[in-house]
Amino acid sequence: MTDSNPSFLGRISLAVSAFFRILGDGEFAAGVLRVRDGGTAAQTRTQTPAPSPASQPASQPAPSLKEANPDAALQLLGLLQRDARFIDFVEEDIKRFSDADIGAAARLVHEGCRATLREHFTIRPVRDEAEGSRVTLQEGFDASAIRLTGNVVGKAPFSGNISHRGWRVDEVRLPKLAESHNANVIAPAEVEL
């Protein structure tokens, strides 16, 4: 691997380390922005001012990140626990059980999880073609709905085989919650009297 052409794994390592350094080091982040906007690595190291705005290409604003509200995720966990004992199953130490016992429990959990998902979500495949089908993706395909894997080189159109059709949610039907509902309690403790 050379500095000018790192291997794929080297690029992954570089991307991960750069990601965390950008989050923690504002000066480094500013340098990355300068390089992205047409500056050189030497300019970044010497803190040379960026070219005048007239000579810079128009940069896209950074996408805004929205804070995820955990209440819906906690509510779904509660529904999966109620209908399928999902958390009980996952938290159980299954080493002491036979494969037959685990399989029997997994059938019950699977059945409950499937019923819960079908009751509260309309889920459809991202792609209608069967797995293994050959497809061609034209330029402008939805990269949020289709992830390219394998030897990804060049630009679209890309031809390949569908290894997973993907899933998308068309409709969500979670129950409404009372204002006083504590979403952090996904399954209350039970005390038998």
The pLDDT confidence band at residue 45, using thresholds 50, 70 and 90, is very low
**Mean pLDDT value across residues 27-47:** 65
Tell me the two tokens of residue 189.
């403790």
Burial 74-86 (b: 16+ CB within 10 A, else e): bbbbbbbbebbbb
Tell me the two tokens of residue 25.
């080091």
Spell out where 38-188 has E strands.
121-125, 134-137, 158-161, 167-172
The pLDDT confidence band at residue 31, using thresholds 50, 70 and 90, is confident
Sign of CA dihedral 22, 25, 28, 33: positive
pTM for this predicted structure: 0.60
Q: Is residue 20 predicted with pLDDT exceeding 80?
A: no
**Mean pLDDT value across residues 45-71:** 65
Read off the pLDDT of residues 75-105 as tens digits, 9 standing for 90 and up: 999 999 999 999 999 999 999 999 999 999 9
Query: Of 17-21, 44-48, 116-120, 187-191, which gets the smallest average pLDDT?
Result: 44-48
Beta carbons of 72 and 169 less than 8 angstroms apart: no
* Residues 6 or more apart in contact with residue 109 via CB below 8 angstroms: 84, 85, 86, 89
